[in-house]
Amino acid sequence: MSIDSVYQVRAFHSFVQETLHEVGPAPALPLVKAAVAVVIKNPFAGRWVEDLSPLIDPSASLGTELGARALALLGGRPAESYGKGGIAGLDGEQEHVVACVTTVFGNAFRDAIGGGEAWISSATKSAAAGSSIDIPLAYKDEVYVRSHYDAITLTLPDAPRPDELVIIAAVATGGRLNARVGGITAAEVLARP
């Protein structure tokens, strides 16, 4: 495990959703969406702290570890979409989660999954253990590829505890099955000089 020791890790949760068919034509390959969540102790739970750099600065290690684990769940297929986010336990703040998924995290996450040019969609909130969160997904090389606007829903029955943070990285092998609302395509982005 390559996560910086400043983060006290309690658990990892891995999620894979493989969709073989929706209404309409079956795809040549199933759509695989995967996410990995790490549950860490929130060092700032229950108190106000102005400087959140102790969560931000080492967060590349979170991005690298979560990205590598999520990519592995795709079974050898490349990631086309990505997203990030997390949940702060009720003794913490949403800002504590945001501190863990800034650009420092995002750049490492991109590197871990083989690159990406687009900003990474994200969702964060404060909630009790057992709450669900939808992590948004978007095409990794151009945010305006509508076919890849999607999400993966995670629910961790035992997390976050009040003094914990859940940090999440998500990937997918493609866009929505049978997407047909127009806009630029992934193939058009790849064909650009």
174 band by pLDDT with thresholds 50, 70 and 90: very high
Give how far the C-alpha of residue 45 lies from the chain's centroid of Cα atoms, to the nearest Å: 23
Give the per-residue pLDDT at 12: 98
Contact 90, 126 (CB under 8 A): yes
Domain residue spans of the chain? 9-191
Q: Does domain 9-191 have CATH number 3.30.390.30?
A: no
Which H helix or E strand runs over 18? strand 9-19
Whether residue 74 is predicted with pLDDT greater than 90 in this model: the reply is yes
DSSP 14-45: EEEEEE---SSSPPSS-EEEEEEEEEEE-TTT
pLDDT tens for residues 25-61? 888 999 999 999 999 999 999 999 999 999 999 999 9
Whether residue 193 is predicted with pLDDT greater than 90 in this model: the reply is no
Its pTM stands at 0.96
SS3 68: helix
Give the per-residue pLDDT at 2: 86
pLDDT tens for residues 114-124? 999 999 999 99
